[in-house]
Amino acid sequence: MIYQGNAITVVQRDDGIATLTFDAQGESVNTLSSKTIEEFEAALAALDQAAGVKGLVIASAKDAFIVGADITEFHGMFTRDEAFLVDMNTRVHRIFNTLEDLPYPSVAAINGLALGGGCEITLACDFRVMSDNAKLGLPETKLGILPGWGGCVRLPRLIGADNAIEWIAGGSENRADDALKVGAVDAVVSGDALMNAAVDLLTRANAGELDHRARRRLKQSPLMLNAIEQMMVFETAKGYVAGKAGPHYPAPIEAIKVIQKGAGEERERAQAIEAKAFAKLAKTDVCYHLVGLFLNDQLVKKKGKQYAMQAAAVNKTAVLGAGIMGGGIAYQSAYKGTPILMKDIKEEALQLGLKEARKLLGKQLERGRLSNEQVAEALCNIRPTLSYGDFGDVDLVVEAVVENPKVKEAVLAEVEGLLDDNATLTSNTSTISIDRLAANLKRPENFCGMHFFNPVHRMPLVEVIRGEKTSDAAVAATVAYARQMGKTPIVVNDCPGFLVNRVLFPYFGGFSQLVEQGADFERVDKVMEGFGWPMGPAYLLDVVGMDTAVHAQSVMAEGFPDRMAQEARNGGKTAIQRMYDEDRLGQKNGKGFYRYEEDKKGKPKKVSDEQAHALVDEGVDTRREFSDDEIVARMMVPLCMEAVRCLEDGIVATPAEADMALIYGIGFPPFRGGALRYIDALGVEAFVSQAEALADELGPLYRPTERLRDMAAKGERFYPATSESDH
């Protein structure tokens, strides 16, 4: 034994090969926490003192290799000044350089995920051998930072600047065959052959067959690109990446600049450029919010896992209603391996559902994500039926018929009588109270809401809605099934609109008041897209459908009449209602706030429509100009206030779950961290002042709650501050 720590051990074999193994005690995965980095430094120092070592294998005893740095440390660490962060990274560079400069060859045996700092450790080794099911990547830009422990220096020298930019700016996890193709690894083998392959590389290096010193020189020297090649690679990449990343995510472009600035430098100078850029990005609000988002996502996944561990097995399911939504649910279930019955009363509806599933599977085939055999297997997992004959052994049913309480109540009562006593029954309703739907059921404890978002295959969120009589077992089974489908389930309590739609409709309410007072809806869309939303409110209403919006609005108005009953100020109709009355339903019939034409790919493309503007202007007395800040405040305050109310009313359990639901469900700008983190960023006191000023003019939709006023008075926030100098 050369070294023994809590996360690292180093042992030497009889043939002189040493193995440094990462195995963090009491943890399911290896991370490079500050303590583990200290151990790594100590382990390398012990290796330096050991006699007779002829080569080093770096390995992991976990299923994953090393998943990266310990992100739970980031918020606290990143509140320190830039000089501290530069020093921290410079110290890690020295440690990794010690590994790279060992007097004998080194190899990383990558048995599973090697991400971030874990990937950077492998890059400091002379060779890399990878298990065929492992993945390698540098996802730091997704956290608003860049690889700061040598990734921006070593990877371009190893696989070429263009490939490295693709990996780093995209933050991708790369499969073994792709890593081998670009030269990031030297060999790919099955997991059980990994150690033998690693030792073989060291033996061949010691025998002079492989030149590990030449490998080192390549990684430590300037990039082999002349000035014209550099310009072509970097300037082209900047233009492309800027278009993909957008203006709110600076890290991908900054990473390209770091690679470019370091291209003509030796190792240490290039690393100094990287360390400085990392420190600058770590201090940005975008980084702060994206790290918070990662931590929130971990909490949501952990809660989902805890529910799923208590669940009975969900091996066979059914969906009632085979339209686009039913077909989407059937596809997602079948694609992820859970067989599903698709039931409807009309043969043409079943064919429509199957057509939707076939179309989505065809796209996966085109992209190379599925083989012909896998497509056939997934289609075999969907059984269309016009009868309830096979429902006796179904574990869970998703009712996805029209959003009409009477129709849903009749269908739910009908199917309940055919199910096993322990089967779970769910409704894919977007607004109707679960308690109302449960009223006529014999086993309301087996019933809950399972709200999918459209399109099912794209939207990651599923709201699992607990009614007053819903049992823990029903919730657990529904959460487990959502996870099996590859979705992120968030458990909420019952109320009109549940969480996401309840929070979304005050946003639409703010929009209605804005256009009624003379704001141009196309300008509102541009401002909110500039704020970070994937689409502005008018465009979003067209995508949702005016009929769906009007129906949901009526449910909200009934549930929360004081602030959500919407009538135009002059006693007339809101712009949304007028669109609906004129049969301008949005994308579904080609006209709404915009007109829709097919682009070259057959997708609806929005174009400005004078008739839509004339219709909206009917309810406007005078055209009025609003500043960008006024538009943002009037749109965001009602949305954020409703998120606060949902938390206070116990509809959602934690700020983290509220924020993740809005990011996953309606595309809340991720770099702003969610509605409650957005309030924290503004300052609760400043937000309350802004809301009160707007409420005086615009009414209860904008009015802060007493609890929020109290938080403002006491200087409280939704997320704990990590230090006095926190954002």
Find all residues with CB under 8 Å of 102, minimum gap 6, and list them.
47, 56
Query: How many CA atoms within 13 Å lie on the side-chain side of 161?
Result: 25
pLDDT score for 600: 85
Find all residues with CB under 8 Å of 332, minimum gap 6, and list them.
456, 457, 485, 486, 487
pLDDT in tens, 104-119: 999 999 999 999 999 9
What's the rounded Cα separation, in Å, for the pair 374 and 361?
9
* Number of helices and strands in the chain (H, E): 31, 20
CB atoms under 10 Å from CB of 550, counted, come to 16
Q: Output the CA torsion 124→130→133→136 (10° steps).
A: 20
If we measure between CA atoms, which residue out of 171, 169, 176 comes closest to residue 294? 171
pLDDT score for 726: 42
Q: Model-level pTM?
A: 0.92
What's the rounded Cα separation, in Å, for the pair 238 and 323?
43
Residue 601 pLDDT more than 90? no
Query: Which one-letter amino acid corresponds to residue 667?
Result: G
Annotation marks residue 451 as catalytic: yes
If we measure between CA atoms, which residue out of 40, 42, 38 comes closest to residue 21? 40
Exposed/middle/buried for residue 76 (C-beta within 10 Å: 0-12, 13-18, 19+)? exposed
Residue 451 pLDDT more than 80? yes
What's the rounded Cα separation, in Å, for the pair 82 and 180?
37
Q: Exposure pattern of 319-328 as b/e (b: 16+ CB <10 Å)? A: bbbbbbbbbb
Q: What is the band of 725 on the pLDDT scale with cuts at 50, 70, 90?
A: very low
Return the structure tokens found at 37: 């980095």
What's the rounded Cα separation, in Å, for the pair 160 and 157?
6
- Give the DSSP per-residue string, 263-326: TTS-HHHHHHHHHHHHHHHHTSHHHHHHHHHHHHHHHHHHHHHHHHHTSPP---EEEE--SHHH
Query: How many CA atoms within 13 Å lie on the side-chain side of 154?
Result: 26
Kindly state the average pLDDT of the residues 374-393: 93
Residue 621 pLDDT more than 80? no
If we measure between CA atoms, which residue out of 398, 362, 367 comes closest to residue 379? 362
What's the rounded Cα separation, in Å, for the pair 157 and 305?
41
Kindly state the average pLDDT of the residues 58-65: 97
What's the rounded Cα separation, in Å, for the pair 27 and 514?
52
Beta-bridge partner residues of 461: 488
Q: Which of 93, 289, 451, 457 is catalytic?
A: 451
Whether 147 contacts 255, CB under 8 Å: yes
pLDDT score for 722: 65
How high does pLDDT run on average in the chain? 94
Domain boundaries, the chain: 3-283, 314-494, 500-714
pLDDT score for 567: 64
What's the rounded Cα separation, in Å, for the pair 356 and 468?
35
Helix (H) or strand (E) run with residue 437 in it: helix 434-438
Residue 571 pLDDT more than 80? no
Residue 380 pLDDT more than 90? yes
Q: pLDDT over 90 for what percent of the chain? A: 89
Instruction: Report which of residues 566 and 691 the model is more confident about.
Output: 691
Q: What is the band of 570 on the pLDDT scale with cuts at 50, 70, 90?
A: low
- Coil, helix or strand for 498? coil
What's the rounded Cα separation, in Å, for the pair 554 and 565?
8
Find all residues with CB under 8 Å of 561, minimum gap 6, and list them.
none
What's the rounded Cα separation, in Å, for the pair 24 and 68?
13
Residue 629 pLDDT more than 80? yes
Q: Is CATH 3.90.870.10 the right assignment for the domain spanning 500-714? A: no
pLDDT score for 682: 95
What's the rounded Cα separation, in Å, for the pair 678 and 693?
18
Kindly state the average pLDDT of the residues 512-533: 95
pLDDT score for 622: 79
pLDDT score for 619: 76
Residue 324 pLDDT more than 90? no
Could you give phi then psi for residue 491, rounded to 5 degrees? -85, 125
CB atoms under 10 Å from CB of 457, counted, come to 21
Q: Is CATH 3.40.50.720 the right assignment for the domain spanning 314-494? A: yes
pLDDT score for 292: 95
Output the CA–CA distances (angstroms, integers) from residue 18 to 1, 7, 116, 213, in the order listed.
9, 16, 24, 19
pLDDT in tens, 268-295: 999 999 999 999 999 999 999 999 999 9
Q: Is CATH 1.10.150.530 the right assignment for the domain spanning 3-283? A: no
